[in-house]
Amino acid sequence: MNRIPTARFAEFIEFFPLLELPFSLLPDISQIPSLALPIPGVMIEEYILPFEGDEVDEYTEYIPYGRIAGMKDFHALIYWKASVMQYEFILATYTLEGNPLNHAIIGGLRSDQEGILHSVAVIDQDLSITIAEGISVDDVDDEVSLDISKTNTYQMAIKPDGYISYDMNEEDKEE
């Protein structure tokens, strides 16, 4: 079934304030604009859930963070996804008509048995993305520290066609 998303997609992207490059994303809620309007459910179903698959539950929330200014051939939006024990900044790209192109997790906070994974991202003028992540753990004195052996950096980039490329830095690759 073909849809005519232009009018609705135009309304959807208005929830995302323009972001000027470069900018950084830290793994906490303090970066979420306090005046961010919630995205209506029908728009979440139409424009976000195609990226999310079956991972959605009734506790998951989506909050608009922003859209990268200056994109001519596609739209690049960032939303904050909050679910149980997991908070993520997600970069999603769309055609000018609103069809989903690609998406990637570019920052956030996630808790599991190993500890808490913190990810930060910097998006530069050339649309390159540097992501650094590390796991914080409780040590024997109940102090939180970063486990240096579990840190990585990644390079991503938004390509001219709106697709997102991904590479692990050479020094972080396992041999």
pLDDT digits (tens, 9 = 90+) for 54-93: 667 788 889 999 999 999 999 999 999 988 888 999 999 9
Q: Which portions of the chain are predicted below pLDDT 70?
A: 1-7, 28-31, 33-34, 54-55, 138-145, 147, 168-175
Rg (CA), the chain: 17
The beta-strand segments (E) located in 38-163 are 61-68, 75-83, 86-94, 100-112, 115-123, 128-138, 144-158
Q: Which residues pair with 50 in a beta bridge?
A: none
